[in-house]
Amino acid sequence: MRHRLYIHLIWTTRNRERLIDCDIARFLCRFLRAMARKERAHILEIGMVQTHLHILARLHPTIAISTFVKRLKGASSAIAGKEGLGANGRLYWSKGYSADSVGRMSLDSVR
């Protein structure tokens, strides 16, 4: 069965602290893509600044968005902390996230 379910996700660091540096950004690009594959999803684009990130992803119809985000946020924070990544050696995400559905015709503008 073919599916085309696209979503634009955004979440922030706790208290909008500037926690995403170059080391964390490189880690997140690799880690989030690998984690998404385990969840039967594909990350098309990742954009980051020091206080938040954007992800454009294609999801499998069986994936609950809340579960997908919970796993990405929780695992990335835990592994970054264990590896002492970033200037502060920590990565904390705020509660919640923003999720918008994206039509196939809008993918280029969202990218």
Give the pLDDT confidence score for residue 1 in this predicted structure: 66
Answer whether residue 89 shows pLDDT above 90. no
State the sign of the Cα–Cα–Cα–Cα dihedral 9, 46, 40, 23: negative
Q: How far apart are CA 42 and CA 101, in angstroms?
A: 15
pTM as predicted: 0.88
Answer whether residue 87 shows pLDDT above 70. no
Residues constituting the chain: 111
Of the candidates 84, 73, 19, the residue with the CA atom closest to the CA atom of residue 48:
19
Of the candidates 39, 38, 31, 35, the residue with the CA atom closest to the CA atom of residue 85:
31
Q: How far apart are CA 97 and CA 95, in angstroms?
A: 7
